Structure 1
Amino acid sequence: MTRNTTFFGMKELALVGVMAATLSSPAMAAKEVTIGYQGMFNPMKYAIDQKLFEDATGYSIKWRKFDSGARAITAMASGAVDMTVAGSSPIASAASNGIDMELVWVMENIADAEALVVRKGSGISSPSDLKGKTLGVPFVSTTHFHMLFALEQFGLTEKDVKLVNMQPGAIVAAWQRGDIDGAFIWDPALGTIKQDGEVLITSKQLSAWGKPTFDGLIASKSFTQSHSGFVTEFLTVLAKTDEEYRSNKEGFSADHPIAVSVAKLTGGKASNVPEAMSLYEFPTVDDQLSCQWLGCEAQGGAVKALEATSQFLLQEKKISGLQPDYSVFVNPSYAAQIEL
């Protein structure tokens, strides 16, 4: 498969989608889907902003923005969304709770894009200094999972610190008021608190210690069974948009159309987008289908990550039980049909 796609190539993809939608039946053009997304800095925001998904699929898409994966999962469980982006921790929680969904795409390997930042002047210069401090984190998120794992590695427990359940916007406000000593969060909130804070540890280091995290796109199984073609077309747009970013990564700047769209949809500053996006790793289609992520069934990286995360969540009493087989919640078949 050819992997090279230019900015104009994506536009051509959109035009082909428009023509296909025009030539399709009225019933096809009238199909609707509700999709959730979050404020992570990723190329998907460009495709949303430019309506590339709608143009390529002919579907009418209702977009819902969520502040946290936990809220996105609640929406999925209630049937309020057909597909949504969420972190691996809330996805693991959803799978463990038996929500009828499947992971169809790994949006990004989080790596250094999530970090535990402590306030300058808070007296925290090493992990042991966290004892007795107040830390903000969105509960049941990837950062919550890594916060708990970090405390475990540091020889601390939840009783040694005060963890406060806060969404990204609330973390920024609490930071500015001086109500919290630190926070484990992602951009754009991460970039804001970094301005007068110090990074104590990032998710990349914690992943290297054996507990990887990622952001993924999940879909209701009832939806994918009835709209398999849409899912593949949707992922094709994602793959092309990611490739556009990767092919321009070395010279990626704030005035690139992707950066402009990311800033627009997340509420961040375009000037912060290049550095923030460089902290993520966006898997290619081949990566998606490899044993590192969606491939290799029970031995695949995504399945193992969901298993490990679920075991940790059970230990922390965040879920009530484990599933016998987490591979049923990972489906690479749609990505396998992508033709670039």
Structure 2
Amino acid sequence: MTRRLLLAVLLAVTCTACGGAPSGTSAADGAVTLGFSAWPGWFPWQVAEEKGLFARNGVKVNLKYFDSYTDSLTALATGAVDANSQTLNDTLASVSGGAEQTVVLVNDNSTGNDQIIARAGITSVAQLKGRTVAAEQGTVDHYLLLLALDKAGLTEKDVTFKPLPTDAAAAAFKAGQVDAVGVFAPFTTTALELPGSTAIATSKDFPGAIPDHLVVARELATSRPEVVQGLVKTWFDTLAWMRENPAEARTIMARRAGVSEQAYADYDAGTTIFTLEQNREAFASGDLERQAKEIAAFLTTAGLADTEPSLDGLFDPRFVQGVSS
């Protein structure tokens, strides 16, 4: 299979590895830039900003929302942001290219909100053979597509793969330009507006395959651990605030997602937010390392990475351990 590593990230990481990019964007006032994009497990960061929870934990944060998930990956790889919420497989792809990144928090596991959606008449992944399928090349739903094809006894060579940014892929599918699409919420809502369309595979079919994390530049975790600790503490404070104020929290997140509150409510089951206890268990039990090894092997076999990335320094448990219960 031809190499499918996301080109923008590869080029960005290559520049970083060569020393041509900054190691971080910490401002003169000590503020750090935290990136996130359209995913239900990351919208709580919007709540944190609007309710002043970063400041309560003594961290100055420039929260940067990316319309394009790919752009957020590139931003962390080049040092344009100090931290970003992203999937484990995309982190491993960046690390494989030379980026020095560290996972400090498990935001969630995708349990259905990543989907392969097909037009009417296609009811199984096996029926994608010979069809045109769109997804954002080298990122999470391309990965889900490869997992689903493999489970059905197919490879990417059995379909015509059309690489498009996630929003454009959803729009192309809705317009009838492709037979199927790999997208994540909230773009699933757009894709499912095509009459007769249905999800033929989701992340629920592959438990634990798509975990989502807060990932920081390794230099930040080394030189300013108190800032990373503040970010992690803010996350759990935000989850606590959301539990006490569910209606207001949903309003904030739905507005950021650009969907109705009812549509946002429909995403709940498809994203499993990790508690502090689940975070500690994930780091302590070796589950994260196991997942990373499985994903790294698959990325290499499927051609999404040239070599398996090193896991040395990839996971740092001290920040979830440092949050008071």
Which interval holds the TM-score relative to the shorter structure?
Answer: 0.7 to 0.9
Q: Distance in 2 between matches of 1:204 and 1:188?
A: 16
Match of 2:262 among 259, 271, 274: 271
Which residue of 1 is the match for residue 234 of structure 2?
Answer: 237
Q: Distance in 2 between matches of 1:212 and 1:49?
A: 31
Q: Distance in 1 between matches of 2:296 and 2:265?
A: 33
Q: Distance in 2 between matches of 1:333 and 1:58?
A: 18
Instruction: Report how many aligned residue pairs link the two structures.
Output: 295
Q: Deviations over 1:42-100 (max 9, x none)?
A: 333311333422443241424242522x4323212211110001112111112222311
Which residue of 2 is the match for residue 171 of structure 1?
Answer: 169
Amino acid across the alignment from 1:294: F
Would you say the 8 A contact 1:29–1:59 is kept in 2?
no
Q: Distance in 2 between matches of 1:160 and 1:180?
A: 15
Which residue of 2 is the match for residue 35 of structure 1?
Answer: 34
Amino acid across the alignment from 2:159: V
Would you say the 8 A contact 1:100–1:220 is kept in 2?
yes
Matched, 1:129 2:127: yes
Matched, 1:333 2:322: no
Deviates more, 1:75-84 or 1:161-170: 161-170
Check 1:65–1:50 CA distance in 2 against 1; reply closer, same or farther (3 A cut): farther
Check 1:327–1:285 CA distance in 2 against 1; reply closer, same or farther (3 A cut): farther
Check 1:80–1:224 CA distance in 2 against 1; reply closer, same or farther (3 A cut): same
Q: CA deviation at 1:262?
A: 0.9
- SS class of match (1:86): strand
Q: Distance in 2 between matches of 1:305 and 1:322?
A: 13
Would you say the 8 A contact 2:171–2:190 is kept in 1?
no
Q: Deviations over 1:276-326 (max 9, x none)?
A: 123211111111111xx2224xxx1222222211111111222111235x1
Q: Distance in 2 between matches of 1:60 and 1:284?
A: 23
Q: CA deviation at 1:247?
A: 6.5
Would you say the 8 A contact 1:89–1:309 is kept in 2?
yes
Q: Distance in 2 between matches of 1:278 and 1:32?
A: 34
TM-score, scaled to structure 1: 0.81
- SS class of match (1:72): helix
Which residue of 2 is the match for residue 162 of structure 1?
Answer: 160
Q: Distance in 1 between matches of 2:29 and 2:56?
A: 13
Q: Distance in 1 between matches of 2:238 and 2:269?
A: 15
CA RMSD of aligned residues (A): 2.1
Tell which structure's C-alpha radius of gyration is larger. Answer: 1
Alignment of 1:1-340 (within 5 A): 30-42=29-41, 43-68=44-69, 70-120=70-120, 123-195=121-193, 196=195, 197-207=197-207, 212-245=209-242, 256-290=247-281, 293-296=282-285, 300-324=286-310, 326-340=311-325
Which residue of 2 is the match for residue 11 of structure 1?
Answer: none
Q: Distance in 2 between matches of 1:260 and 1:201?
A: 29
Q: Deviations over 1:168-194 (max 9, x none)?
A: 220232123211111121111112222
Q: CA deviation at 1:268?
A: 2.1
- SS class of match (1:112): coil
TM-score, scaled to structure 2: 0.84
Q: Distance in 2 between matches of 1:169 and 1:302?
A: 29
Q: Which runs of 5+ in 2 are unaligned?
A: 1-26
Check 1:246–1:310 CA distance in 2 against 1; reply closer, same or farther (3 A cut): farther
Q: Distance in 1 between matches of 2:135 and 2:52?
A: 32
Deviates more, 1:158-167 or 1:80-89: 158-167
Q: Distance in 2 between matches of 1:247 and 1:144?
A: 36
Amino acid across the alignment from 1:203: S
Q: Distance in 2 between matches of 1:64 and 1:171?
A: 20
